[in-house]
Amino acid sequence: MIVAFSVSPLGTDESVAPAVARAVKVVRDSGLPNRTDAMFTSVEGEWDEVMDVVKRAVQAAGEGSSRVSLTLKADIREGVTDGLTSKVEAVERELSE
């Protein structure tokens, strides 16, 4: 499964970069395949391990805040691995034709 999520504390200073960095660190330290862009962090793995990482990332982002916003999108597809790379490669192949 691939989960793309965005997490942000509410009611804090204008910049959320420190909180987002704490969440991204949790994801990167998990050892699961992941990517971060300007809007979302995507992580790939089995249901329980991915959801555990998301939970810990939300907790990390929420340190010092009483409220956290989480947006999450999941692609749940059994038997697929390396989807973070293969899905992008498939689109790139289509664009090159």
Model confidence over 26-63: pLDDT tens digits?
999 999 999 999 999 999 999 999 999 999 999 999 99
> Does 3 have pLDDT greater than 90?
yes
Instruction: Note the pLDDT of residue 2.
Output: 96
> Does 14 have pLDDT greater than 80?
no
Does the pTM surpass 0.85? The reply is yes
Instruction: Note the pLDDT of residue 78.
Output: 87
Give the number of C-alpha atoms closer than 13 A to the C-alpha of residue 97, restricted to the C-beta side: 6
> What whole-number distance in Å separates Cα of residue 69 and Cα of residue 9?
6
The tokens for 43 are: 């992580």
Which of 74, 19, 87, 10 lies closest to 43 in space, CA to CA?
74
What is each CA distance from 63 to 10, 12, 78, 83, in whole angstroms? 11, 11, 34, 31
31 contact partners, CB below 8 Å, separation of at least 6: none
